Amino acid sequence: MSDTVLNLTDVTMQFGGVIAVNNLSMEVRPGEIVAIIGPNGAGKTTAFNVITGVYAPTNGEVSFHGETIISNHPQGKMTKLYAGEHLGKYDKVIQKTPDRITKMGIARTFQNIRLFKDLTVFENVLIAKHMNMRAGLFSATCMLNHNEEKEMRQQSMELLEILDLADTKDEISSSLPYGKQRRLEIARAMATNPSLLLLDEPAAGMNPQETNDLTAFIHRLKEEFHLTVLMIEHHMNLVMEISDRIYVLDFGKLIATGTPGEIQNNQHVIDAYLGVDEDGH
């Protein structure tokens, strides 16, 4: 088990009567770039929200580096409503909060950019360093943690330099051009020192040039920080070029998995994207 970074087993997420993610099992191995694709409303972002602890899944388990971080089974009203599979397979309830999961080494970006809009680029990154602070409120207030503060600032600055954002460090983050805002969001996620990076549609709204830059950028990140990347993306060029393996979701269900080459020729995937005729042709 420990040779996988992330492991989802039988994850089902049901909102009322709607199953957003249905019996999803997947694994991400160290150093891989894995993409999740699928039509709109396929449950991709919901899967991200389950992995990062924002939603508690209705059933199933998520483990990170072999440690179970999330495990649940239908409870309360859901026991009657539950329409998924594997009922009774999971009896533990484990639900780490998003901040704990980030501390363990899973960082994420958001589909619609969620920067700290009124703060500067530098502050955006610096905030991500707060979680590892050793100093308490008192010593931080009285500036007794001078060295630690300096170290945090230095690390943030280094990160901005590596990611080519150093020249904009004092700008208010919402005033950056769109492509840079996306990059800043990734930089901020990187500041939490993750081993697994979740990117939710990093190329959304980007032009072809920016998308090409992003492809190179993700590759560079992966090499420089020894990262594992799991991403949701709609740009097929980017996905096919960058990913080692692809998972395809449709209506919450996993319909195909494999290398880019395999996925491109998979009939289920073509059907899901292009639709099927009434008589099945």
Is 103 a residue that touches other proteins (CB under 8 A)? yes
- 46 vs 102 by CB, closer to other proteins: 102
CA distance 204 to 40: 13
Least Cα distance to 125 among 180, 188, 176 occurs for: 188
Is 204 a residue that touches other proteins (CB under 8 A)? no
Region binding other proteins by CB under 8 A among candidate stretches 12-20, 106-114, 253-261, 264-272: 106-114
By the 10 Å C-beta count (0-12 exposed, 13-18 middle, 19+ buried), 191 is classed as: buried
CA distance 103 to 75: 28
Region binding other proteins by CB under 8 A among candidate stretches 131-139, 154-162, 214-222, 242-250: 131-139
> Could you tell me how many residues of this chain bind other proteins (CB under 8 A)?
37
Per CB under 8 A, which of residues 16..55 are in contact with other proteins?
Answer: 52, 54
Is 131 a residue that touches other proteins (CB under 8 A)? yes
CA distance 115 to 60: 31
Is 156 a residue that touches other proteins (CB under 8 A)? no
Region binding other proteins by CB under 8 A among candidate stretches 12-20, 121-129, 205-213, 246-254: 121-129
Query: What three-state secondary structure class fits 258?
Result: strand
CA distance 52 to 106: 7
DSSP-assigned beta bridge partners for residue 25:
none
Region binding other proteins by CB under 8 A among candidate stretches 38-46, 63-71, 82-90, 123-131: 123-131
The strand order across the sheet containing 245-250 reads 106-108, 196-200, 228-232, 33-37, 245-250, 253-258
- 49 vs 58 by CB, closer to other proteins: 49
Among 128, 231, 249, 254, binds other proteins (CB under 8 A): 128
Region binding other proteins by CB under 8 A among candidate stretches 5-13, 79-87, 132-140, 223-231: 132-140
Is 112 a residue that touches other proteins (CB under 8 A)? no
Is 141 a residue that touches other proteins (CB under 8 A)? yes
Compute how many other C-beta atoms are within 10 angstroms of the C-beta atom of residue 60. 25
By the 10 Å C-beta count (0-12 exposed, 13-18 middle, 19+ buried), 107 is classed as: buried
Paired tokens of 160:
């901005």
* Smallest distance from other proteins to CB 20, Å: 18
Per CB under 8 A, which of residues 164..203 are in contact with other proteins?
Answer: 188-189, 191-192
Is 205 a residue that touches other proteins (CB under 8 A)? no
Is 249 a residue that touches other proteins (CB under 8 A)? no
- 118 vs 277 by CB, closer to other proteins: 118
Among 31, 41, 66, 98, binds other proteins (CB under 8 A): 98
The answer to whether the Cα torsion of 36, 37, 38, 41 is positive or negative is positive
Least Cα distance to 69 among 14, 7, 2 occurs for: 7
Write out the residues near other proteins by the rule CB under 8 A.
52, 54, 97-99, 102-103, 107-108, 110, 114-119, 123, 126-133, 135, 137, 140-143, 149, 152, 188-189, 191-192
